[in-house]
Structure 1
Amino acid sequence: MTTTTIRVPREVHERLTRYAAAHHTSLAGAIERALDAEERAAFWDEVRATMGTRQGIADVRGESESYAGSLKDGLDPDERWDDVL
């Protein structure tokens, strides 16, 4: 794994050090956790912003309905597979 150096204000370094120690991780691990948390939060913010609209709900319903035909695949629901499984 290659690494690089970044400059951060001393206060940020101190915060990272405290966080890393409290969570038993490295400084890089602390940064990675912070980025992961921010990316998750941004994703869910986008989901809430999109799904909270009439258009967003309509889009999801339309997509779900487009897959509904796959449930009618012509297979016999009473067919037994005990000899194979």
Structure 2
Amino acid sequence: MVQSCAAWEKRLRELVESLMDPDSQPVRGHVLDFPRAGEHGLAVETLADWIGNLEEPAVVSPADRARVLDLAADFPEETRIRVRRALADLAGG
């Protein structure tokens, strides 16, 4: 990653805390545990999947979706594609 892992993890944690309510605790735990295991890409992919699978995806603002995409910016192309695809589901495809 171009930025430090600590800075990236802080951005991830802040985004997760702002988006996920207590009902999302299992997914929240996974997203926040993945970086501790060195699975940063899996963390951002899981967050994007969670957003893409929301019953009311409009509750996640375009700015927050952009923040998720920004978290994936330094990852390999396949990770970025999976994140974009999961977030594209918000628009119905």
TM-score, normalising length: structure 2: 0.28
Larger Rg: 1
TM-score, normalising length: structure 1: 0.30
